[in-house]
Amino acid sequence: QAQVVESGGGLVQPGGSLRLSCAASGFTLDYYAIAWFRQAPGKEREGVACMSKGGSHPPYYADSVKGRFTVSRDNAKNTVYLQMNSLKPEDTAVYYCAVGTLGVIRSLSVPDFDSWGQGTQVTVSK
């Protein structure tokens, strides 16, 4: 069964950086689309960035994070990363890694992903 575990969250000041990791077990990450989502208190879960299935398309980003966040994959480590720069208080949320085992190529839509990690908290505050 596909399983992913996120790590790397924490408390950071506005303007700072964090790198989140999504480590996979039981499957090869490169075979599937892998996306990062986030959910702030009282808000719906939203897609942030997506690494396409097999790297067939360029990474896809939500407008709110374009130019600040970068998603990448290390196939040797079977891990996907989310580098977050120029962080803002509105980036505060629980960040989740998700796997599109149903065959989606690239997406930021929650229903397209069926295997989720437990999440990691990111707090941007003075």
Amino acid 36: pLDDT: 98
Average pLDDT over residues 76-84: 97
Query: Rounded mean pLDDT of 39-55?
Result: 95
| Three-class SS state of 74 | strand
Contact 97, 110 (CB under 8 A): no
> In angstroms, rounded to a whole number, what is the distance separating the alpha carbons of residues 119 and 53?
21
Q: What are phi and psi of 113, to 5 degrees?
A: -125, 135
CB atoms inside a 10 Å sphere around CB 109: 13
pLDDT confidence of residue 84? 98
Say how far apart CA 93 and CA 90 lie, in whole Å. 8
pLDDT at position 102: 86
Inform me whether the pLDDT recorded for 61 exceeds 80.
Answer: yes
